[in-house]
Structure 1
């Protein structure tokens, strides 16, 4: 019964995407889909909420302030649900990347996800490498690919580690703007892949 109700709500949600209050409606649908174990639908709705909010912020904020971190617009439990949903649909690297989007990056979960899935070194994980900004996660990926003997990916990851914008000694504004750009890139790729 709950599943049929969710399906009907999904049909009604198409109008919410153009409503100024649509983010709350889509967020509710994302939570309902997650509870109903419809993980892909849940992720799609969470991504739509983020993109909807990003569009709203782009309209009303001056360009200097637009370099916001998108995942700060969601609550902690919603990001945690996105991580769980990614794991459920087999998007392990994406789940690990989402672990760095929490207010306090969850390195332990990211490491567990990556180390429990050695196939990550065989998959098209390189598409998301430039969306990782936490140094410990990049270092683990370097180690995993070096262990697998993939020199090309190791070199790519090392070049990402050497980005000046990731230096913790930079002013916070430079680092935050760089992270916001990486989050936006990650959101766009994940949205294109899932929606």
Structure 2
């Protein structure tokens, strides 16, 4: 068994991605020949153990590769193997069988960055509700917009300036009027509505799953 390194104060910022404190000198242990670009170091982990309660990320010396050696003691560690992410519902209980893909994780990370905590929680609850019933992955567009692949039956834009999510679902306004519990309007032949709080999530999910589908009926 090789030397085990334990990074304290490791903050998980996405599934398989951590922000931690590690000096450039320590990072060189994992590959002195790595590039040096900018202030932040980057490590690739082939295997690891993460203690969420202790905020401790442990890995063997041979299981880490330095991709970049930064100039400051800030580092990002990325797992080479994406493990299923445990999703926690609003009440704090785990939601079984829900896995977020890389695009989903990017959406959640951006929502956490751009939205206030209640709206970021609402965004997470919305996506968890979708993934409980529909396998897929969000794909980011050119800005803060994401579409649900492969079917693209719903589309979401993060709107930090008004702290809302703008959601477009496939189908005309007439198609959604019988089930709409939120204000809706036409969006180039499809239907648009806004998510303004976690209270809106059940109504939003009802409309998302009333959308016209091409795949996975």
TM range (shorter): under 0.3
Q: Which one has the largest radius of gyration?
A: 2
- What TM-score does the superposition give when structure 1 sets the normalisation length? 0.27
- What TM-score does the superposition give when structure 2 sets the normalisation length? 0.25
**Which structure has the highest helix share of the two?**
1
**Which structure has the highest strand share of the two?**
2
